[in-house]
Amino acid sequence: MNNLVISPEVKKALDENRPVVALESTIISHGMPYPQNVETALNVEKIVRDNGAIPATIAIISGKLTVGISPEEIDYLGKKGLEVTKASRRDIPILVSRKEDGATTVAATMLIAAMAGVKIFATGGIGGVHRGAETTMDISADLEELGNTNVAVVCAGAKSILDLGLTLEYLETKGVPVIGYETDELPAFYTRESGYKVNYRMDNPLEIAKALKAKEELDMKGGVVIANPIPHEYAMDSKLISKAIDDAILEANRLGIKGKDTTPFLLDKVQKITEGKSLAANIQLVYNNAKLAAQIASELCKL
């Protein structure tokens, strides 16, 4: 595939059946300001390496689906920031045809990772069913991708700005298993609890890797959600975060913000309302997910 570029390091690791972890790039261009975005992205790659795997940060660079972008390209996306298109599945052919840049969402990262043969992907939180979706039909493309694409996603659950109950229902409809790592409950991104149960609890990376291997051998399509709660010391107070989210949603509705602009607007408002505490929590949970993803990828390669 001419439009797919795999870095030599990532390609060598895949050819030698060594662990590789896919990483998204929306967090670089749309997640936080420069240079904090670049520092965070490079730290995530370091954590993946420190835990025995090769990082493969994915982005669209000048129309090329690039698996394993360079530190210079990470810096480029970080500096360019919101000018970079936030790329989901629907945007990929347009950006390729126009030879433009794109920062990949969960859905786009999954799709490109699968093209390259990368089986494990670490992110912050997945998208899901938005509150009020029964009238707006605002449902993240991440859920459709999870229903179709064979990549396991390590995340801190779904973003707490969403309707978590309906998100779980949607994943069930799509046949996507939701595994809680050392938890029976779906984490809610900034907080460890949501009040909603996961499908299965697993307490070590090997157990998760065995489940992924079984799914692969059964040739079952679709992804797996591995829900990894934010570490205790970085978790936020659930009442504080709930009020911040409710206030942010009210403002979004008042301003008429819809579609793919909703999530970045809400996360930015929550960050301001919590005086930056939500951003600090976001960074720590991404680090935590990168570590677990590398451990699972390492175990999967041994099976």
Domains of the chain: 1-118 (3.40.1790.10), 125-303 (3.40.1790.10)
Bridge partners of residue 57, in order along the sequence: 23
In residues, how long is the chain?
303
Distance CA 21, CA 43 (A): 14
Collect all residues with Cβ–Cβ distance below 8 Å to 285 and sequence separation of at least 6. Answer: 124, 125, 156, 189, 190, 228, 230, 231, 234
pLDDT number for residue 86: 95
pLDDT number for residue 223: 98
pLDDT number for residue 260: 66
Q: Distances in Å between the alpha carbon of 275 and those of 34, 211, 235, 238, 293?
A: 18, 40, 15, 16, 30
Distance CA 37, CA 24 (A): 12
Could you give the residue numbers annotated as active site? 24, 159
pLDDT number for residue 240: 81
User: Going residue by residue through the chain (303 aa), what tens digit of pLDDT does each one get?
Assistant: 789 999 999 999 999 999 999 999 999 999 888 999 999 999 999 999 999 999 999 999 999 999 999 999 999 999 999 999 999 999 999 999 999 999 999 999 999 999 999 999 999 999 999 887 777 788 999 999 999 999 999 999 997 778 999 999 999 999 999 999 999 999 999 899 999 999 999 999 999 999 999 999 999 999 999 999 999 999 988 888 788 778 877 888 888 887 667 777 777 777 777 777 878 889 999 999 999 999 999 999 999
DSSP reduced 3-state for 105: coil
